[in-house]
């Protein structure tokens, strides 16, 4: 993974000193609430319902074991002993004290981490494919490009006060596991006409109040121009994006109001004027960045599945929580943070410390955070998978549900977030209680359930196969259900099935949707594809045919 040099270290230390002074000025009354808000948000610090929330950047989801240990230590000493992993591969602490934040940032800096630009109207932490470098369907490892973008976007002087937040996702594989079509900018590594490497650039995707699927701005960009092209996109957005209305300030609104053709014309015109003078990524720099992400020292070994007779629990876990690795004899292992009765994406300090130790023992000391709020160990020898499972199982980290109904994406909801209209964690619990029969859950196959506590859509409900949105109706919590959304390369927005339902009715509503699916699915057909084939009507009819018994 990328390692800081002396300059990177100096910069994060200088940032800590800067923020320490800004916090001091705020506490001394030299900065108003509003002034400090603009500064603290650039360091990931929100003032939330119970306490400040601190969001820590995990660049493109990659962590070393030392970093995860440091996060465990911070959770222990400054929080209530746990942290929450997010859909953008970051980590949030929900209980730090404002006065402690500069010290927390200093501890992070000591392990080459920070909270820079994890919130605020600036370029956010770049995200990517959690299977980067190990998936067989990859054209090129996106991580060196992510790091190039990370450095370029860090403290970018021109784009630090944008109309609104700006999220970039990079993928290099056929399958899109980074939800790049619902990002402000999606960067896809592709091959050009002569087989040379470059990028397809999309813009204008996003969720929130106005969900939009990103559109292609340029179908092939030679690789050396990645940063100058991003500068052109950002400059058009910075100058022309709306600033009068927070709800209309994202780039998706600009792209929609101009139309993609006019937006593209403006970006291309801007780019033409900076292409030869703007940042240009030379071959030496690409080689230098690639050298930070070498293949680990894989050992040649037979590619056979672990032969463990009799353990059905292990078999189920192996089937759902591990994935194919491009190197024979290795396996990708997911660590589910979706145990029933635990808030989705939460991990305790003890679990983080254990995972760090397991990463050292079994996976070259690296851990990844996935878009779906789980962790993974990317490089585990087949012969050690069983021992790893045993260790995970003892720690409550082997819930065999990756990619299934209970592997829900879920925002922190009303319990932790000042924006939310409704709880999401307790609804996740109700769904887990209702669907506690693994045979049934497995029979349903691949199913993405995504839940947000409000219109801001941090839980990506619009692009869930089943989406659940918390709404406030006269002071009580209701839930609007959508079906048919998807976040991958075939991204689509879900359709609302009808009037929202009470909290006590959510699980039954999902059960009825699934009944229709089970009755009418074709062979090997996913829920999503059945919805796409049949449309919403049969699902809607079943859900609203009879009232739910409370």
Partner 1 sequence: MPRRLLRDGRVMVDEWHYLTETAIDAAAPLIVPFDRWIQARDLWISRAGPLGVLLAPASDVNRLAADLPRLALIAAQFSGPGEGRGYSQGRLLRERWKFAGEIRACGYVRQDQLFFLARCGFNSFELNDSDFANAAAALSIFSAAYQPCNDAGLDYELVSRTSGA
Return residues touching partner 1 (CB under 8 A).
Answer: 7, 10-11, 14-15, 18, 22, 30, 34-35, 37-39, 121, 148, 151-152, 154-163, 227, 235, 238-239, 243, 273-274, 277-282, 285, 288
To the nearest whole angstrom, how small is the minimum distance from the Cβ of residue 163 to partner 1? 8
To the nearest whole angstrom, how small is the minimum distance from the Cβ of residue 156 to partner 1? 6
Which residue's CB is nearer to partner 1, number 24 or number 473? Answer: 24
Q: Tell me how far apart the alpha carbons of residues 550 and 538 are, in angstroms, rounded to a whole number.
A: 23
To the nearest whole angstrom, how small is the minimum distance from the Cβ of residue 434 to partner 1? 44
Strand partners, 380: 331
To the nearest whole angstrom, how small is the minimum distance from the Cβ of residue 291 to partner 1? 12
To the nearest whole angstrom, how small is the minimum distance from the Cβ of residue 38 to partner 1? 4
Which residue's CB is nearer to partner 1, number 85 or number 159? Answer: 159
Which residue's CB is nearer to partner 1, number 160 or number 311? Answer: 160
User: Do residues 411 and 458 make contact, with C-beta atoms less than 8 angstroms apart?
Assistant: yes
**DSSP code of residue 4:** -
Which residue's CB is nearer to partner 1, number 22 or number 86? Answer: 22
Q: Pull the structure tokens for residue 269.
A: 């015109």
Which residue has 């002071």 as its token pair? 475
To the nearest whole angstrom, how small is the minimum distance from the Cβ of residue 2 to partner 1? 12
By C-alpha distance, which of 378, 435, 368, 366 is closest to 407? 435
Is residue 476 exposed (0-12), middle (13-18) or buried (19+ Cβ within 10 Å)?
exposed
Which residue's CB is nearer to partner 1, number 12 or number 181? Answer: 12
**DSSP code of residue 483:** E
Q: Tell me how far apart the alpha carbons of residues 318 and 236 are, in angstroms, rounded to a whole number.
A: 48
Query: Any residues with CB less than 8 A from the CB of 252 and at least 6 apart, and which?
Result: 184, 204, 205, 206, 210, 212, 214
Which residue's CB is nearer to partner 1, number 11 or number 430? Answer: 11
CA angle 334, 335, 341 (to 5 degrees): 135
Q: Tell me how far apart the alpha carbons of residues 83 and 347 are, in angstroms, rounded to a whole number.
A: 6
Which residue's CB is nearer to partner 1, number 185 or number 333? Answer: 185
With b for 16 or more beta-carbon neighbours within 10 A and e for fewer, the 87-96 pattern comes to bbbbbbbbbb
To the nearest whole angstrom, how small is the minimum distance from the Cβ of residue 262 to partner 1? 16
Q: Pull the structure tokens for residue 279.
A: 């940042």
Which residue's CB is nearer to partner 1, number 18 or number 210? Answer: 18
By C-alpha distance, which of 287, 145, 146 is closest to 223? 145
To the nearest whole angstrom, how small is the minimum distance from the Cβ of residue 160 to partner 1? 6
Question: In the chain, what is the greatest distance between 2 CA atoms, to the nearest angstrom?
Answer: 68
């Amino acid at each position: 993974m990328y390692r800081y040099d002396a300059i990177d270290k100096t910069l994060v230390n200088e940032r800590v000193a800067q923020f320490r002074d800004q916090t001091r000025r705020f506490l001394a009354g030299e900065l108003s609430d509003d002034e400090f808000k603009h500064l603290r948000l650039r360091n990931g610090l929100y003032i939330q319902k119970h306490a400040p929330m601190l969001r820590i950047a995990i660049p493109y989801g990659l962590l070393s074991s030392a970093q995860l240990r440091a996060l465990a230590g911070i959770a222990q000493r400054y929080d209530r002993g746990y942290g929450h992993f997010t859909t953008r591969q970051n980590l949030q602490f929900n209980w730090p004290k404002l006065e402690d934040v500069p010290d927390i940032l200093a501890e992070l800096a000591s392990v080459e981490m920070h909270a820079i630009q994890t919130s605020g109207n600036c370029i956010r932490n770049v995200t990517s494919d959690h299977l980067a470098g190990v998936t067989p369907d990859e054209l090129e490892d996106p991580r060196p490009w992510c790091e190039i973008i990370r450095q370029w976007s860090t403290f970018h002087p021109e784009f630090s006060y944008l109309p609104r937040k700006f999220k970039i996702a990079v993928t290099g594989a056929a399958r899109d596991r980074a939800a790049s079509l619902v990002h402000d900018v999606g960067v896809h590594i592709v091959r050009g006409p002569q087989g040379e490497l470059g990028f397809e650039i999309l813009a204008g995707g996003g969720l929130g109040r106005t969900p939009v699927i990103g559109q292609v701005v340029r179908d092939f960009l030679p690789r050396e121009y990645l940063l100058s092209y991003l500068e052109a996109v950002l400059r058009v957005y910075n100058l022309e994006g709306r600033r009068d209305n927070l709800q209309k300030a994202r780039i998706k609104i600009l792209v929609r109001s101009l139309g993609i053709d006019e937006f593209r014309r403006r970006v291309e015109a801007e780019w033409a004027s900076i292409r030869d003078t703007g940042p240009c990524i030379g071959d030496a720099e690409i080689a230098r960045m690639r050298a930070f992400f070498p293949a680990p020292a894989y050992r040649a070994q037979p590619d056979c599945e672990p032969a463990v007779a009799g353990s059905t629990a292990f078999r189920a876990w192996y089937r759902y929580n591990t994935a194919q690795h491009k190197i024979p004899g290795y396996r990708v292992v997911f660590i589910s943070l979706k145990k029933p009765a635990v808030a989705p994406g939460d991990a305790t300090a003890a679990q983080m410390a254990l995972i760090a130790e397991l990463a050292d023992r079994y996976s070259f000391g690296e851990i990844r955070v996935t878009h779906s709020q789980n962790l993974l160990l990317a490089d585990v020898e087949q012969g050690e998978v069983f021992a790893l499972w045993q260790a995970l199982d003892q720690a409550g980290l082997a819930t065999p549900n990756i990619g299934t109904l209970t592997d829900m994406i879920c925002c922190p909801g009303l319990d932790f977030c000042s924006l939310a209209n409704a709880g999401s964690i307790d609804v996740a619990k109700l769904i887990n209680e209702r669907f506690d029969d693994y045979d049934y859950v497995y029979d349903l196959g691949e199913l993405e359930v995504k839940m947000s506590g409000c219109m801001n859509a941090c839980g990506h409900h619009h692009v869930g196969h089943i989406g659940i949105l918390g709404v406030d109706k006269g002071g009580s919590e209701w839930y609007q259900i959508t079906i048919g959304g998807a976040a991958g390369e075939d991204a689509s927005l879900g359709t609302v099935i009808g009037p929202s339902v009470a909290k006590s009715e959510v699980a039954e509503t999902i059960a009825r949707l699934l009944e229709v699916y089970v009755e009418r699915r074709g062979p090997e057909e996913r829920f999503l594809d059945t919805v796409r084939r049949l449309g919403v009507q049969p699902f809607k009819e079943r859900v609203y045919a009879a009232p739910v018994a409370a």
